Amino acid sequence: MSTPDPQRAADDQQDAARVLAGDTRAFEGIVRRWQSPLINLAYRFCRDRGRAEEMAQEAFLRAFRNLASWRQESVFSTWLFALATNLYCTELRRLPPITLPFDEIREPADPRAIDGGLEQRNQSAAVQKAVQSLPPKYREVLILYYFHEMDVPSTARSLHLPEGTVKAHLFRARNLLRGKLKPLVEHPLIAHRQVRESL
Amino acid sequence: MTHAPTPEPMDDAVDRLVDAHLASASDDLAPSSGFAASVMDSIYAQAIEPPPIAFPWRRVLPGAIAVVCALLALVVFVIRTAKASPGAASSSSAVVQSHLALSFTPSEVTLGWILLAACLSIAAIAASFRLTGRSE
């Protein structure tokens, strides 16, 4: 995701030119190439498959409507991800995702079997819950950073932010996550129960 | 010279946990089978839709500028009058009323207001018919 494929970039440019010339069918090539990344990016924001597809569909529609505004200074995928990210952030601020209740996180069948950590699923749910509870500006940077395979310049381009700001937000996001997740790493079972009881 | 704080081992453990869960490709989703077709249906529907009617700024702008200028002139007129005779007029409407009363009889003033309101109504209706392209 962080390094654009030259062949894909050329195909995108060709398809975009055809669409702008009036051949709407050429947009299907763009949809087929980018449907999976756009759905996965949306899923990272909302953690809901159905909603992720709806958001990705809206992103494609918006890309189609605004294709003429792609100035070709950057590769098509950079423009598309920036457009989709902007849409997803707006959408998520309007309708925040439903966070997974801790009741749905299963406790280990045998607590004595735990050796230094939670079960994979519980850990994942706890991390996701902690990420969703971050302030939007940190959460968005963190999600984009991992989506772009930990590439700061790509993250900055997608969010239209300076790289320094992205690094500062990442630093702050990590600090906040450390505070939220440290009890789960130190005493996984106790922390898990405490969180369940507090809800 | 400042040094970056050394992360504690527990911080490293949390960072590894976050990296492992957020960077993993385990939640990669394949699009549902009809997704691309559904998107293209929406695109085709969008493509055949007539373009949205642009707001008629060129027609509206002269009228809007005229209204703003008239309002500004009225404000300036009221302020000047209030400054010239501060005791006589305590509010802007009173200032206007007093000036009209000097030039016209009360029945003429009333008739003038009615005519002004009627003219504005006719102008608004005519403008709306013109903007929507109807001639009747």
A181 pLDDT tier (thresholds 50, 70, 90)? confident
Give per-residue pLDDT as tens, A114-148.
Answer: 444 456 677 778 888 888 888 989 999 999 898 88
With a cut of 50, say whether residue B49 has pLDDT above it. Answer: yes
Res. A83: pLDDT tops 60 = yes
Read off the CATH number of the domain in which A183 is found: 1.10.10.10
Same domain as A144, residue A159: yes
Long-range contacts of A137-144 (CB under 8 A, 24+ apart): A137/A169, A138/A169, A138/A172, A138/A173, A138/A176, A139/A173, A140/A45, A140/A85, A140/A89, A141/A166, A141/A169, A141/A170, A141/A173, A142/A169, A142/A170, A142/A173, A142/A177, A142/B22, A143/A41, A143/A44, A143/A45, A143/B22, A144/A85
Supply the pLDDT for residue A102.
Answer: 46
Please give the average per-residue pLDDT across B107-130, as a whole number.
Answer: 86
What sign for the dihedral angle of Cα A151, A154, A156, A159? negative
| Residues A32, A116 share a domain | no
Whether the CB-CB separation of B23 and A44 falls below 8 Å is answered with no
Candidate from A61, A149, A174 with C-beta closest to B15: A174
Burial class (CB in 10 A: 0-12, 13-18, 19+), A193: middle
Last residue of one domain, picked from the residues A98, A119, A150:
A98
Structural domain containing residue A181: 102-199
Q: Are residues A126 and A162 both part of a single domain? A: yes
Q: Is A4 found in the same domain as A90?
A: yes
A114 in the same domain as A55: no
Counted across chains A and B, CB pairs separated by less than 8 A come out at 86
The pLDDT-based confidence of B8 (bands split at 50, 70, 90) is low
Average pLDDT score over chain A = 82
pTM summary value: 0.64
Q: Are residues A25 and A94 in the same domain?
A: yes
Residues A64, A153 within the same domain? no
Least confident of A37-51, A180-194, B50-64, B71-85: A180-194
Q: What pLDDT band is residue A188 in, cutting at 50, 70 and 90?
A: low
CB contacts, 8 Å: A182 with chain B: 10-11, 14
Domain co-membership, A48 together with A133: no
Residues A54 and A141 in one domain: no
* Nearest-CA distance A5 → chain B (Å): 19
| Domain CATH for A37 | 1.10.1740.10
What pLDDT is attached to residue A99? 57
Residue that terminates a domain, selected from A48, A80, A98:
A98
Closest residue, chain A, to B48 (C-alpha) = A24
Q: Are residues A85 and A134 in the same domain?
A: no
Q: Are the CB atoms for A99 and A154 separated by under 8 Å?
A: no
Q: Do A149 and B31 touch (CB under 8 A)?
A: no
Residues A117 and A27 in one domain: no
Contacts of A116 in chain B (CB under 8 A): none
Q: Provide the shortest C-alpha distance from residue B111 to chain A (in Å).
A: 53
Q: Which residue has the higher pLDDT, B124 or B21?
A: B124
Average pLDDT of the residues in B35-64: 87
pLDDT of residue A169: 94
Cβ of A40 within 8 Å of Cβ of B27? The answer is yes
Counting the structural domains of chain A, the total is 2
From the list B21, B31, B39, the residue facing A36 with the nearest CB is: B31
What local confidence, expressed as pLDDT, does residue A111 receive?
Answer: 47
End residue of a domain, out of A48, A64, A98? A98
Same-domain pairing of A41 and A112: no
pLDDT band at B18 (very low <50, low <70, confident <90, very high): confident
